[in-house]
Homo-oligomer: A and B are copies of this chain.
Amino acid sequence: MKDKKTIFEVDKNNEDKKQLFIDAAICSLANHGYKGTTVRQIAKYAGVTPGLLTHYYQGKEVLIAESYKYLATQFLDDFQNKINEGMDNPISALRGFFQNIFAPENLGKRYLRVWLAFWTLTLTEESLRNTHSDIYKEYTKSLENILRSAYIHNEQDPSKKNLRSLAVGILAMLDGLWLECCLDPDALSKNDNLAIIYEFVESTTGLKIKTN
């Protein structure tokens, strides 16, 4: 199996130059933040000369917007794939989802730098706002589906629950915990976070999540 490329490394030999620039832009955002992500810095990660950027993209801002769409879509796809794989046991799929979020390789300043840059752009570029909105809707919908399956799996009636509110609440708490973790890595350990999430999810959904 191909080893999974992280967003912190760029394959300079990538023949798809448009994708190469996206990889380089994300990598630069992760390592140097929005301010440090200059055309020259992106070009360095791409192993290319600054002037080439405008040959493939209308400009720097457009490239970063495309990078956002790419990364957000990729995250959603990953999520949905993992969920669909584990649909035979929705509860353990849910558990895997939570654990993955707080896995060390998905935390840290470098990830936060990327999302801070994207959120910042969302405030000014309408196309990004629409991208975010679309992805968020699908995200919640997918989580609703797992919850529904989990209820059925437990022979409970999902129709008695407000699945949407549950999904939105859970995602909000995940975002909040993740944000705090990145801002202050010493504040909460992975186990702290999981315990909090499990407790909240069990209380509100009535589903048994924790393993004994």
Query: Is A6 an interface residue when CB atoms closer than 8 A count as contact?
Result: no
A152 at the interface (CB under 8 A from B): no
Interface centre among A113, A188, A203 (most CB of B within 10 A): A203
Check if B119 sits within 8 Å of A165, measured CB to CB. Answer: no
Contact B119 A123 (CB under 8 A): no
Which one of A8-16, A83-91, A171-179 contacts B? A171-179
A107 to chain B, nearest CB (A): 13
B175 touches A196 (CB 8 A): no
A residues apposed to B, CB below 8 Å:
33-35, 109, 112-113, 116, 119-120, 122-124, 129, 132-133, 136-137, 162, 165, 168-169, 171-177, 179-180, 183-184, 186-188, 192, 195-197, 199-200, 203-204
| Chain B residues positioned under 8 Å from A184 (CB to CB) | 129, 132-133, 136
Q: Considering only CB atoms, which chain B residue lies closest to A128 in the complex?
A: B183
B123 touches A112 (CB 8 A): yes
The 6 closest A-B pairs by CB, nearest first: A172-B176, A175-B176, A176-B176, A203-B203, A173-B173, A203-B204
Whether the Cβ atoms of B180 and A172 lie closer than 8 Å is yes
Contact A33 B120 (CB under 8 A): yes
Beta-carbon contact of A136 and B174 below 8 Å: no
A74 to chain B, nearest CB (A): 19
Interface pairs (18), CB distance under 8 Å: A33-B120, A34-B120, A116-B123, A119-B179, A120-B120, A122-B183, A132-B184, A133-B184, A162-B199, A168-B180, A169-B173, A172-B179, A172-B196, A175-B179, A176-B176, A179-B179, A199-B204, A200-B203
List residues of chain B with CB within 8 A of the CB of A124: 33
- C-alpha gap A112/B203 in the complex (Å): 31
A196 to chain B: which residues have CB within 8 Å? Answer: 165, 168-169, 172
